[in-house]
Chains A and B, each alone.
Chain A
Amino acid sequence: MSEIIRVEDVWFRYEGADFWALKGVSLTIKRGELLAIIGQNGGGKTTLAKNLNGLLKPTKGRVLVDGLDTKTIPTHEIVKRVGYVFQNPSHQIFESTVWKEVAYGPINLGLSPEEVKQRVEWALSEVGLQGYEQYNPYDLDYGKMKLLTVASVLAMKPQVLILDEPTTGQDHAGRHLLSNLSKRLNREGFTVVIITHDMRFVAETVNRVVLVSNGEILMDGSTREVLNAFDVLKKAAIKPPQIVQLASELRKKGIDINALTIEEALQEILKHYKG
């Protein structure tokens, strides 16, 4: 089955709340996709993401992960398949060494000490933290702590990896690192879902964008489609990245340029300049 997650007409309401956080959301994610879920805070993107790995269960409708219904199958089975890296590293880190922190997940899965060791070493090398095994996590800078949290979820070898706002609080170098890491993990076979509101990051990283606003999916399409749908983005109070804006303004002046990233824009301009 090429589908890994299917969201069928999901309605979700938090306990005690009098409004729907998700209103009839439907979505299909195929294996191997690399997509972003964007939208304002409070619009439902995190709620949707947490419904994808069983942390939250739909109030109405259902979510199928690898064919399993998240409402009937125990959560610990779902989280094995869909990993979720939370936004704030300090909400997860509690062990005294990097090694133990990454080992927590595999140990919970009941793997043998040999397998745990393998997984930890693999996960650390994937994110580039090999050599830091004995460090105290809190001695790491923020960027490395973030990588640590990714490693600790990767070590569970989930099929899908959800990254919740990975670029918040990062500097530019950190964002590039995470962008490259996401793309590399995707090439290696992971389905990657990134919740973010960094539009430049979206343009440089993902192939597909799902825009969530007010509990509904406003748009679901390729990065190029969504980032160029200015009126839809405006409704969600989101600004496209500068390069996309530049291309759009130039098109208005009759210059046919379509670009999402600096590299693309450069290629397009070179064509026009030479030709």
Chain B
Amino acid sequence: MDMVWVKNMEPIIKVENLTYAYPTSKDFVLKNISFTVNKGEVLAVIGPNGAGKSTLLKALNGLVPHFYGGKYGGRVVVSGFEVLNTPISKMSTKVGFVFQDPEDQISGLALTVWEEVAFGLMMLGYPREEIDKRVREAIDYVGLTGLEKRSPFELSGGQMQRLAIATVLALRPEVIVMDEPTAQLDPLGKYEVLSVIEKLAESGSTIVLAEHEIEEVVYFADKMLLLDKGEAVAYGDTRKVVTMVEELKRRGVDPPSVTELTSLLKEKTGVDVALPVTLEEAVKIYSELLR
């Protein structure tokens, strides 16, 4: 009998009818959102600015509602913990959060890259030997070996963001949440960070990330959630969502260029081809079509 690797099908994140308003917001920022994420899956959250992507991500580690307050309805369960009833510090052992601006995540308490990665473990009172081991692993994983003694402020944008990922990895969370991690980076930085994310995805990490770089994300996202004005407009397999060209454009989201191109071609000529989601697929389709 052949052995087949199957991703563990138990949902590690369950969001049921999540509805939320910040104390100062006039309208609900999230309205009745439901979805699940299985262990080892990568969910990409897409949508225009102001759709509620950040807020949704923050609802996964407890920042919403515990840090912000506000009005909260529905249920979010991550790794067996119901977020509403669990303090952020406890959630932080299960959910690692990487923010958009690399510099804003530097704690300000650590002298060196090494100490920065150790910071979370220090906050949670881990013993020294365990800290040493995990910090070493995390720094090597993200490719910052050799930079341990530098000040975090001396790093480039891409390096700083990888440092942020390392600090999260050191805590060995079950879920990694990333809020537009490449938005503030230059192309090289984007490449560095996306490579680490891809590596994490391939090694079976559970990741939820909000990103605008849709052309890159399709390579490793299993599922996609399209948000607009606080509502879940589309949810499902990446291929299914990203090929809903009209829906995406209506919500102000560009699908990958090759997908949009082919969709327009189909409109104009009625040709029967599948919509490609990556460059490689498009090359294949067009080289056959245009011979």
Chains A, B in direct contact (C-beta < 8 Å): yes
A residues in contact (CB < 8 Å) with B: 40-42, 141-143, 168-174, 197, 199-200, 237-239, 241-243, 245-246, 249-250, 253, 255, 257, 262, 265-266, 269-270, 272-273
Interface residues of B in 235-291 (CB under 8 A from A): 252-254, 256-258, 260-261, 264-265, 268-269, 271, 279, 282-283, 286-287, 289-291
A255 touches B48 (CB 8 A): no
A273 touches B254 (CB 8 A): no
The SS class assigned to the B binding surface is helix
A242 touches B215 (CB 8 A): yes
Q: B189 near A: Cβ within 8 Å? A: yes
Q: How many whole Å from A259's CB to the nearest CB in chain B?
A: 9
Q: Which of B49, B256, B279, B287 gathers the greatest number of chain A CB atoms within 10 Å?
A: B49
A242 touches B279 (CB 8 A): yes
Question: Which residues of chain A have C-beta atoms less than 8 A from B282's C-beta?
Answer: 246
Q: How many whole Å from A239's CB to the nearest CB in chain B?
A: 6
CB closest residue in chain B, given A199? B187
A237 touches B279 (CB 8 A): no
Q: B188 near A: Cβ within 8 Å? A: yes
Closest 5 A-B residue pairs measured CB to CB? Answer: A173-B252, A41-B186, A242-B257, A172-B254, A171-B49
B287 touches A197 (CB 8 A): no
A266 touches B261 (CB 8 A): yes
23 contacts between A and B (CB under 8 A): A40-B187, A41-B186, A141-B49, A143-B49, A169-B183, A169-B184, A171-B47, A172-B254, A173-B48, A173-B253, A174-B49, A239-B191, A241-B257, A242-B279, A243-B261, A246-B257, A249-B279, A255-B286, A262-B257, A266-B261, A266-B264, A270-B269, A273-B271
Question: Which residues of chain B have C-beta atoms less than 8 A from A172's C-beta?
Answer: 48, 212, 252-254
Complex CA distance for A237 and B187, rounded to whole angstroms: 7
Complex CA distance for A273 and B50, rounded to whole angstroms: 41
A40 touches B186 (CB 8 A): yes
Q: B32 near A: Cβ within 8 Å? A: no
Question: Which residues of chain A have C-beta atoms less than 8 A from B183's C-beta?
Answer: 168-169
B261 touches A249 (CB 8 A): no
B187 touches A255 (CB 8 A): no
Per-residue contact bits, chain B 96-136, to A (CB 8 Å; 1 contact, 0 not): 00001000000000000000000000000000000000000
Interface residues of B in 185-235 (CB under 8 A from A): 186-189, 191, 212, 215
Q: A246-B258, A246-B283 are in contact. List 11 more A-B contacts (CB 8 A).
A: A40-B187, A40-B188, A168-B184, A169-B183, A174-B49, A237-B187, A242-B215, A242-B257, A249-B279, A262-B257, A273-B269
A237 touches B256 (CB 8 A): no
CB contact between B290 and one of A174, A197, A269 (< 8 Å): that residue: A269
Complex CA distance for A34 and B261, rounded to whole angstroms: 26
Q: How many whole Å from A78's CB to the nearest CB in chain B?
A: 28
CB contact between B48 and one of A171, A197, A243 (< 8 Å): that residue: A171
CB closest residue in chain B, given A242? B257
B187 touches A239 (CB 8 A): yes
Question: Which residues of chain A have C-beta atoms less than 8 A from B252's C-beta?
Answer: 171-173
B265 touches A270 (CB 8 A): yes
Complex CA distance for A22 and B45, rounded to whole angstroms: 40
CB closest residue in chain B, given A263? B264
Q: B36 near A: Cβ within 8 Å? A: no
B49 touches A250 (CB 8 A): no
CB closest residue in chain B, given A38? B187
Q: How many whole Å from B192's CB to the nearest CB in chain A?
A: 10
CB contact between B283 and one of A40, A168, A174, A249 (< 8 Å): that residue: A249
Question: Which residues of chain B have C-beta atoms less than 8 A from A257's C-beta?
Answer: 290
Q: B62 near A: Cβ within 8 Å? A: no
Q: B181 near A: Cβ within 8 Å? A: no
